[in-house]
Structure 1
């Protein structure tokens, strides 16, 4: 299973790297519009979101839109190998790059409990129509997501380019299904959140 996932990660990283800058900007703007509509329909007020880096679908337009709508935003902070938590993003707070080159708060604040979020917007390398998520392989989100939810809160929303969708991904017992994935083309629903 490990070799299969690693091969898929290589393929999906290559796909993402082939997206040219103009397409990246358009995709990020379109995905942000879809995400903001969904968050509005959910009446989400407190949202965890990652700060995109490298070839990931940019979250800056989404974060700008969330700030404009008065949403409270939290971002991930790395604690150690495979371990992370979220902290509220404070206006004008200094950020620093962690060991993976990802921005996070320079000074530590209060850890936000998962139950405080209405939605968590997750990075991913790949996803399928069943809500299966393939991450980068570090296990940070897998460990953070491992505890059970209460009444399907928060909602787990993947955020990616449409080209990151595969027909079917390998699934392991600890994999958490996404409620939906937001791309520049719209919203793909996972199996745990019926649309009807």
Structure 2
């Protein structure tokens, strides 16, 4: 995709998600700060701030766990060992189970709600004990990242939905 196509896709995906009841009802929202070829979350972050959402971003701890820290505008940022931006200072945090909506990065997704991540298992560990009524897990991706089927392991956490620039896919889990 060209840079212009990528920017347009990010704007379209943000608008599409902002129109959903998942987004409108969410008060505490976690999202990733895009890195590399991931769908840019910048337009979505602007929607969140405009809608008064409390936004949290992941911080990698001890090479195994994620902690979600509150992101405020103009907060100083740094790059972690993977080159991903995260808050430079430790901030207010919220437990993964107490989020309303979580936007997850992915490399691919399928029609059953399986996602292929970067391979670290951070999100799978963070949401392994998720119960009904817990946060809604939504992949945020380009439409071209959809695959017919992906391999899944018993510990893989399935998505509730995926938002792309072209559609909203809702899965029955």
TM-score, normalised by the number of residues in structure 1: 0.84
Q: Distance in 2 between matches of 1:189 and 1:31?
A: 15
Q: 2:68 aligns with which of 63, 68, 86?
A: 86
Q: Where does residue 12 of structure 1 map in the other structure?
A: none
Q: Is 1:160 aligned with 2:135?
A: no
Q: Is 1:177 aligned with 2:158?
A: yes
Q: Distance in 2 between matches of 1:156 and 1:121?
A: 6
* CA shift for structure 1 position 147: 1.4
The CA RMSD measured in Å over matched residues stands at 1.3
Gap change, CA 1:119 and 1:41, over 3 Å in 2? closer
Structure 2: stretches of 5+ with no match in the other structure: none
Q: Which has the larger radius of gyration?
A: 1
Q: 2:80 aligns with which of 78, 81, 98?
A: 98
**Do 2:23 and 2:101's aligned partners in 1 also have CA atoms closer than 8 Å?**
no
Runs of 4+ more than 6 Å apart: none
Deviations 1:154-187 (A, max 9, x none): 1000000000000000011011110000000010
* CA shift for structure 1 position 41: 6.0
Q: Distance in 1 between matches of 2:153 and 2:111?
A: 16
Total equivalences in the alignment: 173
Q: Distance in 2 between matches of 1:47 and 1:132?
A: 21
Relative to total residues, which structure has the larger helix share, 1 or 2?
Answer: 1
Q: 1:109 aligns with which of 82, 88, 91?
A: 91
TM-score, normalised by the number of residues in structure 2: 0.95
What is the SS of the residue equivalent to 1:124? coil
Gap change, CA 1:39 and 1:85, over 3 Å in 2? farther
